[in-house]
Amino acid sequence: MRYTLAALAIALLGSLPTRADVILSTDFNGGSVSGSTLSGITWVTNGVANPGALTAMDNPNGLFTTTPAQEKFAPKRNLHNEGSWYVDILLALLGADIALSSVSLDAYIFNNQGELQTVNRNLSMSATLLDDTLTALQPPAIAANIFPNNGPAISQPASVNFNFGGNTLTAGNTYTLRLTAFGEGPGNNAGFDNLVVNGDFAVNEVPEPAPLTLMVLGMLAVTAAKRRRRPLA
């Protein structure tokens, strides 16, 4: 009995909890536009390096600098007439493995003048996790018809969440999160704000004893005291 209790106590005390953490986020406040690149971004990082500036690829038109596009990542590219754009966000891990869980953002659509759309224009987005050779680790996660054509009255922004459960990122390696925007409908430009990347990793501090742990330790103490009082044969 005492050996079973001891083993249980060791297991309980030695276990380390995990928690869901924001490993990377930005609201794009303070960013400055130069062509298709947004630099000076304020990033909140936890377990990953600062990704730095972001550039809209496949987009020679630059980013919107209009008032509605301020402090957002908003490529000046008509998705219907000119095609999709994408942006790569580096996830360079530091001292621990991270089990990626989700990526969320707020999506917007703009007209060709950089003003918020007042009519529905189709927008879909995909998120792809790439390794250091830019090879996809799984099929893209797709958020389809975020703003569907001929849908209900438009309301912006739209909250988008991509599920990345089952992807473990290894410490010391660099990965790329690629976000792609595509859609149909004239006057259809898109952007996003409030990017958040969530993941789980082990906490290194020793947790406070749980009630079950305290009970087991108490039982061990009682057993030890009885053995000390037992008369010698």
The three-state secondary structure class of 100 is strand
Domains of the chain and any CATH numbers: 18-203 (2.60.120.260)
Is residue 64 within 8 Å of residue 191, measured between CB atoms? yes
Which is higher by pLDDT, 115 or 9?
Answer: 115
pLDDT at position 161, please? 98
Q: Lowest mean pLDDT: which of 73-87, 188-202, 217-231?
A: 217-231
Q: How many Cβ atoms from other residues are within 10 Å of residue 7's Cβ? A: 11
Q: What is the pLDDT of residues 140-156, one digit of tens each?
A: 999 999 998 877 778 99
Average pLDDT over residues 64-89: 96
First to last CA, the chain: 22
Average pLDDT over residues 107-125: 94
Average pLDDT over residues 105-132: 95
Which is higher by pLDDT, 134 or 231?
Answer: 134
Mean pLDDT, all residues of the chain:
85
**% pLDDT > 70, the chain:** 78
**For the whole model, what pTM was predicted?**
0.79
Q: Residue 125 is encoded by which pair of tokens?
A: 């987005």
184: pLDDT strictly greater than 90? no
- How far apart (Å, rounded) are the C-alpha atoms in residues 131 and 137? 7
pLDDT at position 217, please? 52
Average pLDDT over residues 91-105: 95
63: pLDDT strictly greater than 90? yes
